[in-house]
A and B are shown apart, each in its own frame.
Chain A
Amino acid sequence: MNAPAYNFAYLDEQTKRMIRRAILKAIAIPGYQVPFASREMPMPYGWGTGGVQVTAAILGPEDVLKVIDQGSDDTTNAISIRKFFAKTAGVATTAATEEATVIQTRHRIPEAALHEKQVLVYQVPIPEPLRFLEPRETETRRMHALAEYGLMHVKLYEDIARFGHIATAYAYPVKVNARYVMDPSPTPKFDNPKMDNCPALQLFGAGREKRIYAIPPYTKVVSLDFEDHPFEPYRFNAPCALCGAENSYLDEIVTDDKGSRMFVCSDTDYCEGRQAAGHHGSLSAAPYKERAQETSNG
Chain B
Amino acid sequence: MTTIAELPPGFADKVLSAQSTFRSVMDAMARPGSVQRIVPMAGTPGPMMRGVAAIALTLFDHDTPLWLDARMAESSDVVKWLKFHTGAPVIQDSSIASFALIGDGALLPALERFALGTSEYPDRSTTLILQVDRLDAGQSFELRGPGIDGVATLRASIKPADLFERLRVNETLFPRGIDVVLVADDAVVAIPRTTRVVSKGS
Contact = CB atoms under 8 A, between A and B. Distances in A.
Contact of B175 (A35, A142, A179, A216): A179
Given A28-B29, A145-B120, A179-B174, A218 B16 contact: no
Interface residues of B, number: 40
Nearest to A63: B23
Interface string A259-289: 0000000000000000000000000000000
Dominant SS among interface residues on chain B: loop
Contacts of A129: none
B91 interface: no
B12 interface: no
B147 A16 contact: no
A102 B83 CA distance: 34
A193 interface: no
Q: Which of B16, B125, B147 has most chain A Cβ within 10 Å?
A: B147
A216 B34 CA distance: 13
A29 B26 contact: no
Given A34-B123, A216-B147, A27 B29 contact: yes
Interface stretch (A7-15, A69-77, A246-254): A7-15
B26 A28 contact: no
A153 interface: no
B20 A60 contact: yes
Contacts of A199: 149
Contacts of A24: 25-26, 29, 59, 127, 179
A21 interface: yes
B119 interface: yes
A30 B194 contact: yes
Contacts of B30: 27, 201, 216-217
A29 B123 contact: yes
A23 interface: yes
Band of interface residues on A: 35 or more
Interface in B22-70: 22-23, 25-26, 29-31, 58-61, 63-64
B119 A145 contact: yes
A14 B120 contact: no
A217 B125 CA distance: 22
Interface string A181-211: 0000000000000000001010000000000
Contacts of A25: 123, 125, 179
Contact of A218 (B118, B122, B147, B177): B147
Given A13-B14, A20-B59, 8 more contacts: A23-B26, A27-B30, A28-B177, A29-B122, A29-B194, A145-B119, A201-B26, A218-B149
Interface of A: 7-8, 13-14, 16-18, 20-30, 32, 34-35, 57-61, 116, 141-142, 144-146, 177, 179-180, 199, 201, 215-220
17 contacts: A8-B15, A8-B19, A17-B18, A17-B61, A20-B59, A21-B98, A24-B59, A24-B127, A25-B125, A27-B30, A28-B193, A28-B194, A29-B122, A59-B19, A146-B119, A201-B30, A215-B146
